[in-house]
Amino acid sequence: MKILALLLAAIAGTATAADCGPDKLNTERTIVLKREGAAYGTQQHSALPLADKEVVLTFDDGPSPENTPLVLKALADQCARATFFMEGRNLRQSPDLARRVVSEGHSAGIHSDTHPHLPTLSPEQQLDDLALSRAAYKAVFGVETPAYRFPFLEETPIMLAALKQANITVASIDMAINDWIPEDTTEVLAQRLNESLDKAGRGIILMHDANGPTAKALPTLLKVLKHKGYKVVHLEWEKAQ
User: Which residue ranges make up each domain of the chain?
Assistant: 26-237
* pLDDT score of 10: 36
95, pLDDT greater than 80: yes
pLDDT of 182 reads 81
The backbone region for 90, taken as left when phi is positive above 0, alpha when psi lies in -120 to 50, beta otherwise, is: alpha
Mean pLDDT (the chain) is 93
Q: Domain 26-237: give its CATH architecture.
A: Alpha-Beta Barrel (3.20)
The predicted model gives 73-95 an average pLDDT of 98
Q: E-strand spans in the chain?
A: 29-33, 39-40, 54-60, 83-86, 107-110, 147-148, 169-171, 175-176, 203-208, 231-237
pTM (2 decimals)? 0.92
Express each pLDDT in 173-182 by its tens digit.
Answer: 999 999 988 8
Stretch 138-149: mean pLDDT: 98
Give catalytic residues, as residue numbers: 60, 208
H helix or E strand, kind and range, residue 135: helix 123-141
Angle at 234 between CA 231 and CA 235, to 5 degrees: 140
For residue 233, give the nearest of 53, 17, 12, 10 by alpha carbon: 53
What is the mean predicted confidence (pLDDT) over 148-167?
Answer: 98
Does residue 8 surpass a pLDDT of 90? no
Helix or strand (DSSP H, E) at 7:
helix 2-19
For residues 81-87, average pLDDT: 98
**pLDDT of 39:** 98
Q: CA torsion 103→14→54→222, rounded to 10°?
A: -80
Q: At what angle do helices 68-77 and 95-103 cross, to 10 degrees?
A: 10
| Residue 104: pLDDT band with limits 50, 70, 90 | very high
pLDDT for residue 19: 85
